[in-house]
Structure 1
């Protein structure tokens, strides 16, 4: 499965990932024809009543990954956030647990607390540890190395871009398969990153995201939604609730998945 996921980052079209948060959403995504499933940490956490930023207990994340991997027959990539560990050895042990649960890919980010960036050498060590941990179980895990250079530190655009290029180049050398300059939509910067890393680039789908053809030209090969799919689902729940609260009981026309179809998606 890991090799299958890696190949998807090098096709003629980018890998599109509408991120899931539980077995049912993952199964629906897979049934729609997507060749892989990825989680988004914020979606998994918020759907369970926790904030993002490793507030979700790690054991709950492992359980979620195991249940998603059981529900689908496609590769599963996991948003690992910062690795859920204070030390590289913690990250190694946690990676082993995720791989044992069925994950064959991970996102790992370089901010310490969403306010500061981890020293480059330390982040590279974490990436190397993730690689080694996967190989312990015979799984060449696909590592999507994320930099938060465009989020933290209040850097100006040009300075953040320089930091991102430098960091992602180092992460690539440390073993990353894909690089993720989250919140970067600037095609010129994305091209610089691609030239520096020669790696597939992940971008998050946003209103400011460039057209697909333009993204392809600068090395983008993975496009994810973050919590976007959960936001759409929550919006549908809110709309149905508001209509019912106003006395409108005619909700038949709203998009829905029957309970029978849900069971079929989950294979139960």
Structure 2
């Protein structure tokens, strides 16, 4: 039996209130400690309810609120003060299970952020390749990375725009359709960073600009940066017109 179960089965809120110094009148009420109460307005029995401020809960809620501590700390305090034994390991196991469980919304948010991060890294890598591997003379054979940059950069930019400005349905479709490709891209980018000779990924951004190198600057809020880029482009277009 965990501490929550042990405490709730062993102690009533009235017993706890009396133990911590509250005087219970003949109608089973005490002065409410949670608001400026002049006449007893909190009913205490197995649970508690204040008819003045609406505070309500069980014995653990009462002690937690009274001392400004968490529910777990409140339950442990009651168990210690009243000498109640419990299985401490069961509490740890329960907390681990709760921590490990993620809602569908959390899982989707993580997946969407991952897709955006990887595609953004790839986009800035393509921009770099487009400059770094551009042919020096007209008849020079194109480097495969330059060719890849020309073929893919517009499409990747389109996907990133959807992930920032698109509807929820459009974003979800991108996450579903490109999940596997993103995993491959993430591995490929990592391998490129490791195998790239001469300098680190951050130091070798060259003419593409260090600040545009996907991972080099960490990008604390990469979606906001993308929105700013789009705003600047719109402003430029208006001026050009």
The structure with more radius of gyration: 2
Aligning the two structures, in what range does the TM-score lie when normalised by the shorter sequence?
under 0.3
Structure number with higher relative contact order (C-alpha < 8 Å, ≥ 6 residues apart): 1
Instruction: Give the strand-richer structure, 1 or 2.
Output: 1
TM-score by structure 2 length?
0.23
TM-score by structure 1 length?
0.21
